[in-house]
Structure 1
Amino acid sequence: MRYRRFGKTNLHLSVFSLGTMRCLDSEYITRQTVQYAVALGINHLETASRYGKSEEYLGAALRSGLALPRDRLCITTKVPPTPDPDAMSRSIEQSLKNLKLDSIDCLAIHGLNTWEHLEWVQNGCIKAIQEAVRDGKVRHVGFSTHGSLDLILATINTDLFEFVNLHYYYFWQRNAAAVELAHQKDMGVFIISPADKGGRLYTPPPTLKDLCHPLSPLELNYRFLLSDPRITTLSLGAANPAELSEPLSVADRDFPLTSLELQILERLQTHQDDVLGKDKCSQCYACLPCPENINIPEVLRLRNLAVAYNMTDFGKYRYAMFENAGHWFWGVKGNRCTSCGDCLPRCPEQLNIPDLLKETHQRLNGAPGRRLWQ
């Protein structure tokens, strides 16, 4: 296991962190998973008040005795934004009670996803958080986000936070500028769900497996991230001890990308360009805003992946979240397009966006999706 400095917190975290969102089945399995993760070198354990009984299960695991003493572990929990400082104070106290801790190493605003959330923080709950820091109940403060790039950059520029949890993967590099700005400001960078939201890479389609050979798609994505020195740690959302083995097989490989890996990445890009041809969306986001609130770039990104790499199951999984996940995954489905043509003159590729949206809907529409803890 390799360790990296978590920005200005000056904590040194393992390059993989155990995220406990999926540790929902039982206290016993959570304890086993946590104990095994720590034994394998993970020193950062992450949970949230909204993850069912995850905080309580993690608290019980900490009390059961681990291979590392408490002062060598970093515990992060996340609480939702609120305009009410008193509500934030109560949330922090409840998390401390659930975790059975006197202090939380890292507290993150959970899901700072909208401009309203940012306003709530700046003019409301940040006061309670800063008071908790002064009282020694919280050591370091950050935020997690599924929001737009503009919002993330604005939030980083408030200089209120020491770390950020965000999405960034080989198959979705939209937040590259946020990773760079956080690095410039010496913030810790925590990558959310690289295996699942990064493409459901633990169950890759044969096309993608062949293109990534001799690496697995999951291994390649981990290497893409671990080779980036701006990134501190990657979330590993294991639901049981067995799910730790494959990811941690690359936990000591945080060196620059090898010539073989670079060749594979070039192969992936060339294949996508060849298959998609003139229908490839370059993800420039110039098509937004859409009058119907369609998240056009994301819909077309899912199409890119499904057509080029046969990542249809992943596309269906994410597409089902539209209209069902609120601010966690904004936008409506492609069939809402009215062919108004508002986006067409802004597209540098001159894509027939209305036709592609409707085709993507036919390809990927399925059962509605919801957040795991719902």
Structure 2
Amino acid sequence: MIYRSFGRTELNMPVISCGGMRYQQTWDDALLDVVEDENQRNLEATIRRAVELGVNHIETARGYGTSERQLGLVLPKLPRDEIIVQTKIAPEADPEVFRKHCLESLERLNLDCVDLLGLHGINNYKLHWHAVRPGGCLEVARQLQAEGKVRHVGFSTHGLLPQILDTINTDACGGFDYVNLHWYYISQWNWPAVQAATARDMGVFIISPNDKGGLLYKPSDKLVELCQPLHPIVFNTLFCLRRPEVHTLSLGAARPSDFDLQLSAMELVPKADELVAPIVEKLERALFDATGFKADAVLTQSLTKEIPAWDQDAPGYMNAPMVLWLRNLALAFDMVEYGKMRYNLLGRGGHWFPGLSAAHLDTLDDEQLAKAFKKSPHADKIVGWLREAEDLLGGEAVKRLSQE
């Protein structure tokens, strides 16, 4: 295993973390009496396999159903000074509710202290305010730190870049020690946030590069071909870890064997630049051939920077940048299954995946659409692209993992 210093925390962090959102019994906030013996045996075997491989960062959240409670049966069996435990708690309007939830999570985990406490899902400015306002949840987290119940405090986010940057750059209560965010090959628009976190000496944890990063555990045949001679998971791992600003990648393991493929990349990390470059070239060529756009326009979302996102300025609250991004991935890399999964969450994923799809495009009048897209140099083509995305990706709703 390779380890990197996790920013100002100075924790010796493995570059692969064991995410805790796939091995639990249920997403319901249920008691342990619902947990089947076989599920608990598998969870313990998964954790022990992780630690055996050097993946000693175990990450979960209060919102992951029975995950915390089930881990609470395993963690006391492990050497406490050899593991790094992280949980995440959603910020609340009432900070005392947040405090109560934090203390409950410690009880569930059967620990006196967690190494990392993340304010979970600061995805918009309302939640940002709940966190950083005077007397808010960040202040409570720092109080818990002073009481010896928490060692370091960070946040996780699925938000838009401007809000992520504002949360990273807050000075309230000394700011945050680390951030969990999305950044990988197909989604590079949060790189300025990674740089901002680095400038503040924050730890950088990449969320779900195998799942949200393209359903890479069941990639399209075209993506497999383009990533040769590497598996897409290995390519994406090397793409991320070639940047020293990135400290760890989450791996949401459902079984002990789920570590094998990604950890096969470890011996290749010293040659990451050399191995990644020709694959990036092939991917960029495929993207241009399919869409007519260079990769930096699509993968950094500069193509859609003049298009309103999902707020009140967007036509029909449509998340047009997300829709167009998914269209381009589907056309370039045959990532249709991934595109359908993400596209059909629009309107159903709450603040985790905000805005609507293009399913209601034909109910919007031409004047409304023209006004929304007039600043884009591609204004005359956008409606056609949105309609194409609906034809390609629309269909039955796909639930978020936490709703399955």
- The two structures have a TM-score, normalised by structure 2, of 0.89
Residue 124 of structure 2 is matched in structure 1 by 114
Query: CA separation in 2, counterparts of 1:243 and 1:44?
Result: 16
Q: Once the 2 structures are TM-superposed, how far is the Cα of residue 57 of structure 1 from its aligned partner?
A: 1.1
Question: What's the CA shift string for 1:245-272, capped at 9, x where partnerless?
Answer: 1111113433363434201101110111
Instruction: Answer yes or no: is 1:333 the counterpart of 2:343.
Output: no
CA–CA distance in structure 2, aligned partners of residues 29 and 208 of structure 1: 31
- Quote how far apart the aligned CAs of 1:166 are: 0.3
Higher percent of residues as helix: 2
Mapping 1:229-244, distance limit 5 Å = 229-244=244-259
What TM-score results when the alignment is normalised by the length of structure 1?
0.96
Tell me if structure 1 keeps the 8 A contact 2:21–2:60: yes
1:290–1:342 Cα contact (<8 Å) kept: no
Aligned to 1:88: 98
Q: What count of residue pairs does the alignment treat as equivalent? A: 371
Is contact 1:19-1:237 (8 Å) kept?
Answer: yes
| Residue number in structure 1 paired with 2:161 | 149
With over 3 angstroms needed to count, the CA separation of the structure-2 counterparts of 1:304 and 1:2, relative to structure 1, is: same
Determine which of 306, 328, 338 is the counterpart of 1:286. 306
In 2, are the aligned partners of 1:228 and 1:256 still within 8 Å (CA)? no
Preserved contact between residue 116 and residue 154 of structure 2 (Cα < 8 Å): yes
Alignment check: 8 A CA contact 1:335 1:357 kept: no
Q: Specify the code of the residue in structure 2 equivalent to 1:342.
A: K
Aligned to 1:108, what secondary structure does the other structure show?
strand
Q: Which residue of 2 aligns with 1:99?
A: 109
Is 2:73 the counterpart of 1:60? yes
Aligned twin of 1:347: 376
Deviations 1:14-41 (A, max 9, x none): 0000001001132221111000010011
Q: Where does residue 3 of structure 1 map in the other structure?
A: 3
Q: Offset of 1:99 from its aligned partner? A: 0.3
- For the pair 1:247 / 2:262, whether they are aligned, the reply is yes
Alpha-carbon shift at residue 178 of structure 1 (Å): 0.2
Q: Does 1:369 align with 2:381?
A: no
Give the residue type in structure 1 aligned to 2:150: V
Distance in 2 (alpha carbons) for counterparts of 1:56 and 1:12: 26
> 28, 40, 51: which one pairs with 1:38?
51
Is the aligned partner of 1:356 residue 2:385? yes
For residues 103 and 302 of structure 1, the distance between their equivalents in structure 2, rounded to whole angstroms, comes to 41
Higher-RCO chain (CA-CA 8 Å, sequence separation at least 6): 1
* SS of equivalent to 2:115: strand
The question of whether the paired residues in 1 share the 8 Å contact of 2:223 and 2:232 is answered with yes
Residue deviations 1:208-227 (CA, integer Å, cap 9, x gap): 11111111111111100011
CA distance, structure 1, for counterparts of residue 245 and residue 4 of structure 2: 10
CA contact (8 A) 1:18 1:44 kept: yes
Q: Give how far 1:278 is off.
A: 6.4
Helix, strand or coil: the match of 1:8?
Answer: helix
Q: Deviations over 1:104-146 (max 9, x none)?
A: 1100011001100011112222222121011000110000000
Question: What CA deviation, in whole Å up to 9, does each residue of 1:327-363 have, x standing for no partner?
Answer: 0001101123324212332113445111111110111
SS in 1 for 2:85: strand
Distance 1:261 1:127, change over 3 A: closer
Match of 2:288 among 273, 285, 306: 273
The one-letter amino acid of 1:324's match is R
Distance 1:351 1:185, change over 3 A: farther
Aligned equivalents of 1:369, 1:127: Cα separation in 2:
37
SS of 2:374's equivalent in the other structure is helix
Distance 1:179 1:31 in 2: 33
Identity value in percent: 42
Name the amino acid aligned to 1:122: V
- Secondary structure of the residue that 2:93 maps to in structure 1? coil
For the residue of structure 2 that corresponds to 1:335, the secondary structure is coil
The amino acid across from 1:299 in the alignment is V
Match of 1:305 in 2: 329
C-alpha separation in 1, matches of 2:267 and 2:227 = 20
**Matching of residue 170 in structure 1 with residue 185 in structure 2:** yes
Does the CA-based 8 Å contact 2:19-2:60 persist in structure 1? Answer: yes
3-state SS of 1:57 partner: helix
For residue 105 of structure 1, give the secondary structure of its aligned residue in structure 2: strand
Say if 2:223 is the partner of 1:208. Answer: yes
